[in-house]
């Protein structure tokens, strides 16, 4: 390992810093955070749905590593595009917190008729609209504490449970939504640590904090997203888990933006990448997803 403290690139939000500090703790060697401002941080006027999956919260952090300013980067796994970044490797998926979503302000079926839920996520909107077609939606940007505070301006807001837990805000959750109600975003709740592909010493050290029970499900979820096209403009979600026998099971979702059509597929197998790709193929060719993709100009 390097004699100087490792430079750990991270976004500057309270959540990102908490995640970077957690990885530094796990590494057990001298390291310090290097805060990087991303495109997604700079431009708060763009709705989340327009930049989801584009790397808007990861590209500058990755470049800090690629250029040598930093040795490694800590990301929320959900912020990473499904395709590998040039010159980098994900050296560790060290842990995954609760992957579910939560409503802050009001529980789902206590929401008034025509109530307003604030979320910038089209994935969250479509699933809520499918369950409660009467609901209306408002845009929501900002860091997690800001979004929690804004719950008073709406009937409810949607926040990742992992974010609430990592910031000590779990008590604000009015209801935690089970995956059968709202399937999470690919990688939600998980941390991803990237380094340069040729930094053999650091790759070896990161392997010591990599969790196979997290990596295998994440590889399945990311393979699912990559197969659909990581820039897919439709709502997608997936949640995989590793079973005691070492196999991986996945539930995946593809939906129309208005929530009128919500397609799900499940799968299980030994190879995580195959499991994810098969789930995507099932949604496209067996469950009717090809029509949804064709409507937005994505051919399969």
What's the Cα-to-Cα distance from 135 to each of 129, 157, 212, rounded to whole Å? 6, 12, 40
Q: Reply yes or no on whether 43 is catalytic.
A: no
Catalytic entry in 79, 98, 101, 282: 79
Q: Are 4 and 14 in contact (CB under 8 A)?
A: no
Angle between helices 272-285 and 212-228 (to 10 degrees): 30
Query: How would you classify the pairing of strands 248-255 and 262-269?
Result: antiparallel
Could you give the residue numbers annotated as active site?
79
């Amino acid at each position: 390992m390097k004699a100087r403290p490792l430079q750990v690139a991270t976004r500057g939000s309270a959540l990102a810093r908490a995640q970077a500090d957690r990885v530094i703790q796990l590494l057990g060697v001298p390291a310090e955070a290097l805060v990087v401002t991303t495109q997604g941080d700079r431009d708060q006027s763009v709705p989340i749905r327009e930049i989801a999956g584009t790397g808007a919260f990861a590209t500058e952090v990755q470049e800090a590593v690629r250029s040598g300013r930093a040795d490694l980067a800590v990301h929320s796994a959900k912020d990473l595009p499904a395709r590998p970044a040039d010159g980098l490797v994900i050296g560790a998926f060290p842990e995954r917190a609760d992957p579910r979503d939560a409503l802050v302000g009001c529980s789902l079926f206590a929401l008034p008729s025509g109530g307003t839920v604030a979320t910038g996520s089209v994935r969250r909107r479509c699933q809520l609209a499918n369950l409660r077609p009467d609901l209306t939606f408002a845009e929501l940007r900002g860091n997690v504490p800001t979004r929690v505070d804004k719950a008073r301006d709406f009937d409810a807001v949607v926040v990742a449970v992992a974010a609430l837990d990592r910031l000590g805000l779990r008590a604000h959750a009015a209801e935690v939504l089970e995956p059968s109600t709202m399937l999470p975003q690919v990688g939600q709740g998980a941390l991803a640590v990237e380094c340069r592909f040729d930094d053999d010493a650091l790759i070896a050290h990161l392997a010591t904090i990599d969790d196979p029970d997290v990596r295998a499900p994440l590889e399945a979820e990311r393979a699912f997203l990559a197969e659909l096209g990581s820039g897919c403009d439709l709502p997608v979600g997936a949640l995989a888990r590793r079973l005691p026998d070492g196999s991986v099971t996945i539930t995946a979702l593809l939906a129309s933006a208005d929530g009128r059509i919500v397609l799900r597929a499940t799968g299980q197998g030994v190879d995580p990448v195959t499991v994810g790709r098969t789930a995507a193929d099932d949604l496209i060719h067996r469950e009717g997803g090809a029509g949804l993709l064709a409507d937005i100009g994505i051919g399969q």
